[in-house]
Amino acid sequence: MGQRKLLTNSLSLLVNRLVQSITSFVLVASIARTLGPYDLGRYLLAFSYYYMFMVIGSQGLKTLFTRELSRNPQEMPAYLVSGTFLQMLLSIIAYLVQVIVVFLLPYSSDTSTTCYIMGLTIIPFSLSNITEAIFQAQERMNLISISTVPVYILRLLVMLWFLRLNYGIDYLAVILAISETLVFVIEWILVTRVVTPKWEIKQDFVWHLFKSAWTFMLIDAVGILSSRMSIIIISLLGSELMVGLYGVIGQLMLPFSLVTDSVSMAAFPSMTKAVALGKEKSRSITENIIEMLLCIALPFIVVVFFIGHDLITFIYKNPDFSQVNLVLKVSCLSLITYPFVRTFAYLLLANGFEKFNLIEVIATNIVGLFSGVILISQYELMGAAFMQLAMGFTSFSLFVYAVYSQLFSLSLWRITPRPLLISVGMILIFLILEKLRLNFILILLISTCSYSFFAACLAIHKFGGARSMWSKLFSKN
């Protein structure tokens, strides 16, 4: 993949993820302001169960399809029909399992009902993952944005209208399910214009797909448990109120995770193709991606430490949420290793080392489970933050070992200088702003412009000047 195509696809996925992040952010803030932390906890808990079982039932197939179709694009018609059929079966099973799990756990009836309704979203979202895998394999991520962005915006407007009319969380869950069904219909229409479906379901082919995907599915299943484990443990050892308070932290860090996930996901086809070009090419791509993600992660941590409390107060307008400020600062330290973890995960998949991903997610989940039960029961929300740090360090250590022992080592001197320079620049900006005692909006605006300036200057330096950067990004490859 050339620089231009990588940039285009990254921006397409970034737009999609940013709109998803912004709409989710606005919705959560509106729920917090309108209904309070208890109902916010109900919504986030139901969303966590829906998202967990959706990932378990579909993300493995999406990863497999993206890799295989990047290598064998001529098989897209067969994958489209047979893969969609297999995905339908798995998503229905995932929903039924979710219903059983929620029914057996000691939640209130209103929380359980919200989980049942929102869980229906598993089916359409899972099916749309198949069409998106085809778009990714074709490196036409712009079609994903065309399908999702308008629906996400419309969904937010309808949800805000329902909140204004004093409708509860269950109605929001229904709207979520309907909107994801609409996304799937739009994506199916678009994909049939670029791929002619082969209307034949081959049982042997479907079985082969399932056997090939089980490792990916198991990796994603354990991985999603890692990301949602803290909320589940808090809901069982605490209450929906605590889930709502902790969910604020996740929402504040959501824009960062969505941006970094978009970049690494867009680079996955490039990583896959680079395997045949040799280790030096793979090393170069890997180092560039990690450097790019660190340029986002480290300044974000600086922002949280300087204006995290003001950000919480400004967004949620509720004194109940101010108590999570210290927890937020501790939690965001796990972002230091996140760029390495996310990039190494895709790198190992691209090189066929899925077993290391499986080992990592199992070990990380074991660490998270035991540390979470102990720490959350003793320190509540702060215990959840320490649990995230323990899981992040475990994941980072295992991935570094796998990549360094099986593939190649990285040059930290090439990766870290620019992210550190941007971070130091941001620290100096915030120290100056503290002396000036400006209002929060002005501080946010100045810091954002400063970050953009620092990042642009270092990007120009990396590419050897403005003219060279323009030539590399926008000339034909």
Q: What is the mean pLDDT of residues 70-99?
A: 85
CB 360 within 8 A of CB 220: no
Angle at 173 between CA 172 and CA 176, to 5 degrees: 90
Angstrom CA distances, 12 to 147, 263, 278, stand at 11, 10, 28
First to last CA, the chain: 9
Which amino acid, one-letter code, is at 186?
Answer: I
Nearest to 339 by CA among 398, 257, 284: 257
- The pLDDT of residue 84: 84
Residue pLDDT, tens place only, 260-285: 877 777 777 778 888 878 788 888 88
Q: Count of CB atoms within 10 A of residue 370's CB? A: 12
Distance between CA atoms of residues 139 and 132, nearest Å: 10
Distance between CA atoms of residues 160 and 26, nearest Å: 9
Chain-centroid distance, C-alpha 282: 23
Q: What is the DSSP string of 408-441?
A: ----HHHHSHHHHHHHHHHHHHHHHHHHHT--HH
- The pLDDT of residue 216: 74
pLDDT band for 466, please (50, 70, 90 cuts).
very low
Q: Which residue has the higher pLDDT, 117 or 222?
A: 117
Average pLDDT, the chain: 84
Range among 127-131, 154-158, 221-225 with highest mean pLDDT value: 154-158
- The pLDDT of residue 5: 60
Distance between CA atoms of residues 140 and 242, nearest Å: 41
Q: Does 473 have pLDDT greater than 50?
A: no
Q: Does 462 have pLDDT greater than 80?
A: no
Q: What is the mean pLDDT of residues 235-257?
A: 82
Q: What is the mean pLDDT of residues 102-121?
A: 93
Q: Any residues with CB less than 8 A from the CB of 398 and at least 6 apart, and which?
A: 356, 359, 360, 363, 364
Q: Does 95 have pLDDT greater than 90?
A: yes
Q: Is 97 exposed, middle or buried (0-12, 13-18, 19+ CB in 10 A)?
A: middle
Residue pLDDT, tens place only, 355-402: 888 888 888 888 988 998 899 888 888 888 898 899 899 999 999 999
pLDDT band for 17, please (50, 70, 90 cuts).
confident
Percent residues over pLDDT 90 in the chain: 30
Residue pLDDT, tens place only, 408-418: 888 888 888 89
- The pLDDT of residue 477: 40
Distance between CA atoms of residues 344 and 286, nearest Å: 8
Q: Does 350 have pLDDT greater than 90?
A: no
Locate 383 and state its tokens: 């215990």
pLDDT band for 208, please (50, 70, 90 cuts).
confident
- 216 conformational bin, left if phi > 0, alpha if psi -120 to 50, beta if neither: alpha
Q: Count of CB atoms within 10 A of residue 436's CB? A: 9
